[in-house]
Amino acid sequence: MRPTLMFTALALAACSSDKGVTIHNSAPSVSLYEPFDGSEVDAGEAINFVAQIGDDRDEAPSLIRIWSSDIQGPFSDTSVVDATGYTVWTTGALELGEHVISLQVIDSAGLTSADNLMIRIVEPGDTGAPEDTGPAIGEDADGDGYTANVDCDDDDALVNPGAEDHPYDGIDQDCDGSDLTDADGDGFDAVVAGGDDCDDTDPLSNPDGTEVCDGEDNDCDGTVDEEDATGCSTWFLDADDDGFGSDEEKCLCGASGDYTSETATDCDDSDALVNPEATSFSALATSGGGFDWDCNGVEERQWLDVGSCSGTVVCDLVEGWDGSVPACGASAMWVTSCSGLTCDESGVARTQSCR
């Protein structure tokens, strides 16, 4: 009687108050979200139906719950509910067929809400795999151990879900829906299959690969061991092929083209006679206009002696340049003899050679 008296008192207060008293009570909430709507389950398999329920006045465990199937009608409520409204009902009693499973929730005021989902209960059957011993679904015409429901070509014993797929032959041997066109699994189809993977046996070689010095086209751009590849070293231009490079360089995986020298010591890379190993002196200038044929930074003159004649009647001869040592490429007299009572100097013309 006490609840009734309390309700009556509140009702009288609502009628007698100038402002009025309004008491709200919403219908309970219910959301049925597992299993997914349209799921297919073998008959006899235990199924967990999961829902979230709640009410603005009543605690979730106190709400009345009615589980039902449009085929089999209502079931005894054996669901478990926690304080948050998380609700699980487990059953394995659904019959074959397509069921609409409903959960109706009723609060203490008699307000109700419901949600539902569809689930299909099917006859348990063989998956088609040899290790599955359940009742077979379909025949195994090619005798490869896989039945027609999973064997994509039941006339060919080499084609089944357990077979190895041979790449690029246009045949789906493993029944995964397509022929194997990316044998190395790097995400790029092989060139022979219409893709752009130039080496489908190496997952590191593909259009996104990093070029390294290994004799392979790692980035599939058509060039092997290109300039600036990982692991490259410095090579210098040897345009005159004398074995010595200029200061023009590239980072390469090895000698390539005219970049064949590992040193930059050639002071004139247009003339093969000019290099650090040159030993001959020349009266002619290099193509660069100087006389440093051996690239040591100095124009070395070949003849440095100054000649002279001294004495009277009996002359003392010193062979060498008349007066002073000429510059590279310059001509002067080279004293070779003394004559007369005054020992006059005489000689031959000579051009100073350098290197």
Tens digit of pLDDT for each residue in 257-293?
Answer: 999 999 999 999 999 999 999 999 999 999 889 999 9
pLDDT tens column, 224-236: 999 999 999 999 9
Alpha-carbon dihedral of residues 314, 320, 323, 325, nearest 10 degrees? -170
> Taking all residues of the chain, what is their mean pLDDT, rounded to a whole number?
89
With a cut of 90, say whether residue 22 has pLDDT above it: no
pTM, full prediction: 0.50
29-122 placed in CATH 2.60.40.10: yes
The proportion of the chain whose per-residue pLDDT surpasses 90, expressed as a percent, equals: 79
pLDDT tens column, 54-86: 999 999 999 999 999 999 999 999 999 999 999
State the pLDDT at residue 124: 76
pLDDT tens column, 128-174: 556 665 555 668 899 988 888 889 999 999 999 999 999 999 999 99
Domain boundaries, the chain: 29-122, 232-274, 278-355
